[in-house]
Amino acid sequence: MAARWTVLFRLRAVEVAFRCVRACGVLADAAELLALRMHGANAQDVRARHELVRSLLTGASDDLALAASSMKAAELFALYGASANPMLPLLSVQHVTDGNHPVRLALSLFQSARAYTEEACGCVETCCVHLRMADDLLAVPALPGMDGLLDVERFIALHAGVKAALDLARVSAALAITAPLVGELGGVNEKRSMNSVGLAICSDRLPYSACPAFLRFLVIFVHEER
């Protein structure tokens, strides 16, 4: 029977993996929309597309922020749960005992994943800033060189914003998926197989539609341990 805190830790790990993977899929959809050129003559269509992109970015940003919060919660579960006195948490992840070495490794991965996730949120905000700038340009229909100016904003929003966020979210997703598997799930071949899922997400070789089966596997594992 697993200690209560390790079950809570794994449940948070499942939530983190789910949210990171879902954010990757949403960001990929936003990138596809922003890859389309903008034309001042189609201002209404461009604004409508921007609204859709903003809606997608809001969802992705929420998932990334909640994933970061859950990673921090998992860390707190471990620091309190692995302490000899649950009223006095351990000072850091490095103080988790050797008996919980897999959890210590998992937490280190979560710390890295959280940093990538928080940076991805910043890139999403960068995209939103440049979308607002594009909308301001559209409000001046007689502006000389409108299409060129719109394309500059679209390029920055796409590459410095959404694509940068997507790359960071993919790394975060791969780390988040790998973390609960470190030293925990079955034999070596099984762990290698599951780690490959994380690497495939990171390199964009795995369709996001394939991820729910993996996440269901984690949920089943957690409930069997309870």
* Residue ranges of domains in the chain: 4-225
What are the structure tokens assigned to 138, written together?
């559209």
What are the structure tokens assigned to 54, written together?
């903003």
State if pTM tops 0.95.
no
Distance from C-alpha of 113 to C-alpha of 127, rounded to nearest angstrom? 21
How does pLDDT run across 39-94, given as a tens digit for each residue?
A: 888 889 999 999 999 999 999 999 999 999 988 888 887 788 777 777 888 777 77
Distance from C-alpha of 226 to C-alpha of 224, rounded to nearest angstrom? 6
How does pLDDT run across 205-222, given as a tens digit for each residue?
A: 444 444 544 444 444 444
